[in-house]
């Protein structure tokens, strides 16, 4: 694997697992059952780590909206197969991070407009300071100090480096 774009370490594997545990504790305190909707592909790693720490009943589905990280004006198609009924359910949308927040806001708006959910929440490992406002509860472990472009643990650079097990600054 070419790691030439992987720069300064931002979150170690240990810090990530501490963050996963922190988000799981928040969700465990709030929910007795929920539908988990993973934003793919970015949210796969965080979801896999997170759901194994949840102590309530879950059903799982997935949604996608391809975008370029940091692009707050993503207009690509939302693809949601809707395998699990959402009507009257607590729904938690999981992604690795909220960067600009534009894509997540579109996904939340789509789910609110098209499905009669009981509640809608977001769970991510971290959020960035410059993100747009998304008016639903957000459960996260870390608020980053800046909006640096990051790679690893689901975050890509040119559709690569998602499988790096830690988060680092991007070196262009």
Domains of the chain in start order, with CATH, are 6-161 (3.40.50.2020)
* 2/69 Cα distance (integer angstroms): 19
List the one residue out of 81, 73, 6 whose CA is nearest residue 37: 81
Quickly state the pLDDT bin for 66 (edges 50, 70, 90). Answer: confident
Instruction: Please give the pLDDT value at position 70.
Output: 53
**149 phi and psi, to 5 degrees?**
-70, 135
Instruction: Please give the pLDDT value at position 58.
Output: 98
Quickly state the pLDDT bin for 57 (edges 50, 70, 90). Answer: very high
Residue with tokens 């692009």: 71
pLDDT at position 167 over 80: yes
pLDDT at position 131 over 90: yes
List the one residue out of 116, 86, 96 whose CA is nearest residue 42: 96
Percent of the chain scoring above 90 in pLDDT? 88
Q: pLDDT digit string (tens) for 3-53?
A: 999 999 999 999 999 999 999 999 999 999 999 999 999 999 999 999 999
pLDDT at position 71 over 60: no
Quickly state the pLDDT bin for 74 (edges 50, 70, 90). Answer: low
- Alpha carbon separation from 12 to 9, 82, 128, 153, 168 (Å, rounded): 7, 34, 17, 10, 8
pLDDT at position 69 over 70: no
Residue with tokens 């894509």: 103
* 87/68 Cα distance (integer angstroms): 31
Q: Give 35-50 as a DSSP string.
A: EEEEETTTTHHHHHHH
Q: Please state the pTM of the whole predicted model.
A: 0.94
Instruction: Please give the pLDDT value at position 81.
Output: 87
Average pLDDT, the chain: 94
């Amino acid at each position: 694997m070419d790691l030439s774009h992987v720069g300064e370490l931002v979150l170690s594997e240990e810090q990530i697992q501490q963050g996963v545990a922190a988000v799981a504790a928040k969700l465990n305190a709030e929910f007795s059952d929920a539908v988990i909707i993973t934003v793919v592909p970015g949210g796969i790693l965080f979801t896999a780590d997170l759901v194994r720490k949840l102590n309530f009943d879950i059903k799982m589905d997935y949604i996608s909206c391809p975008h370029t990280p940091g692009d707050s004006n993503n207009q690509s198609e939302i693809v949601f197969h809707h395998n699990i009924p959402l009507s009257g359910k607590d729904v938690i949308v999981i992604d690795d991070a909220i960067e600009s927040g534009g894509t997540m806001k579109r996904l939340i708006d789509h789910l609110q407009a098209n499905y009669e959910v009981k509640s809608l929440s977001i769970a991510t490992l971290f959020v960035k300071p410059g993100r747009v406002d998304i008016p639903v509860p957000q459960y996260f472990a870390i608020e980053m100090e800046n909006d640096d472009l990051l790679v690893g643990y689901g975050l890509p650079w040119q559709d690569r480096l998602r499988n790096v097990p830690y988060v680092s600054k991007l070196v262009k």
